[in-house]
């Protein structure tokens, strides 16, 4: 499938500080992406550039083959669930849903009202009086009810408890199955989305660090655990990015793909090989 979004050499600077530096990345149609990065890495800046909030200092962002900047056609195909509140203060939830219906072509108002009911969201309430969790739910409902081919979500589960998060992920996947399109989910809860996203895009200090399918990313490293002196023997000459010791039991994370021979070596030293978690890999990759 083709690319829906291409980010070509995009930088954004504020005065002298660079929020994004020479980002080159593209997103395919019909995939769920995770946009991962530490606080202040530039995730939200990138989403803001895609959605016409401000202009990139250099480079261009293309939706299809058209630049997104000040382009009504491109912008009508993107839906952005911001983390911050951008809605008029006085609007009720119902008014917000109706305004989305007025401005987005093919906004499914019936589906939106149905979701509101499923999440027990009181649509008569003013948006500004909602709790953090219900604010997120309102924004989620709007994003899922459009049929924009590109949907961006910034911290979608902010303020949601575990049960509601679970419900959200199920409704989200059901929605994705019904209307496959490109989702870019920016989040800190990496382990929680690691099964849901197909590819991860990691940004660190304004630069693109990595873009890979999650499955492949998890093959990039592995953990070895066992008796500490045996682990040390195994570690010799390998790229160890992290080690942890409890008593005489040591676990190390190696940033190399595991081979058949590694398996044999580990077995001979009475060591156990376990896959690395995305969250841990992320911490190593973006660590100081």
Shortest CB 71 distance to other proteins, Å: 7
Shortest CB 105 distance to other proteins, Å: 9
* Residue in 126, 132, 170, 233 binding other proteins, rule: CB under 8 A: 170
Nearer to other proteins, 8 or 279 (CB): 279
Q: Applying CB under 8 A, what is the total number of residues that bind other proteins?
A: 45
Cα–Cα dist 25/180, whole Å: 21
Shortest CB 288 distance to other proteins, Å: 26
Q: Report the site for other proteins in 24-43 (rule: CB under 8 A).
A: 31-32
- Any contact of residue 13 with other proteins (CB under 8 A)? no
Sheet of 272-275: strands edge to edge?
240-246, 249-254, 222-227, 272-275
Identify whether the C-beta of residue 273 lies closer than 8 Å to the C-beta of residue 223: yes
Identify whether the C-beta of residue 188 lies closer than 8 Å to the C-beta of residue 178: no
- Any contact of residue 204 with other proteins (CB under 8 A)? no
- Any contact of residue 197 with other proteins (CB under 8 A)? yes
Q: How many residues does the chain have?
A: 288
Cα–Cα dist 57/106, whole Å: 33
Q: Write the burial class of residue 4 (CB in 10 Å: 0-12 exposed, 13-18 middle, 19+ buried).
A: buried
- Interacting residues toward other proteins by CB under 8 A: 31-32, 44, 48, 51-55, 70-72, 75-76, 78-80, 82, 84, 86-89, 99-100, 102-104, 166, 169-170, 173-174, 176-177, 195-198, 214-215, 218, 274-275, 277
């Amino acid at each position: 499938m083709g690319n829906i979004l291409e980010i070509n050499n995009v930088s954004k600077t504020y005065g002298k500080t660079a929020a994004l530096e020479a980002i080159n990345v593209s997103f395919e149609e019909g995939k769920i992406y995770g946009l991962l990065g530490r606080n202040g890495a530039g995730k939200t800046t990138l989403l803001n550039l895609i959605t016409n909030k401000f202009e990139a200092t250099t480079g261009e962002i293309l939706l299809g083959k058209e630049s997104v900047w000040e382009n009504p056609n491109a912008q009508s195909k993107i839906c952005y669930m911001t983390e911050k509140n951008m809605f008029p203060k006085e609007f009720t939830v119902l008014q917000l849903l109706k305004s989305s219906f007025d401005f987005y072509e093919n906004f499914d108002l019936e589906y939106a009202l149905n979701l509101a009911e499923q999440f027990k969201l009181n649509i008569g309430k003013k948006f500004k009086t909602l709790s953090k969790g219900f604010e997120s739910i309102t924004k989620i409902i709007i994003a899922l009810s459009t049929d924009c081919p590109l949907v961006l979500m910034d911290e979608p589960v902010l303020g949601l408890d575990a049960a509601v998060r679970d419900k959200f992920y199920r409704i989200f996947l059901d929605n994705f199955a019904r209307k496959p399109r490109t989702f870019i989910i920016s989040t800190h809860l990496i382990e929680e989305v690691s099964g849901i996203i197909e590819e991860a895009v990691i940004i660190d200090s304004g630069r693109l660090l990595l873009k890979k399918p999650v499955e492949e990313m998890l093959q990039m490293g592995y953990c070895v655990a066992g008796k500490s002196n045996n682990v040390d023997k195994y570690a010799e000459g390998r790229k160890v990015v992290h080690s942890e010791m409890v008593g005489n039991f040591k676990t190390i994370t190696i940033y190399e793909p595991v081979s058949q021979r590694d398996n044999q070596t580990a077995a001979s030293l009475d060591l156990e090989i376990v896959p690395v978690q995305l969250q841990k890999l992320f911490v190593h990759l973006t660590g100081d």
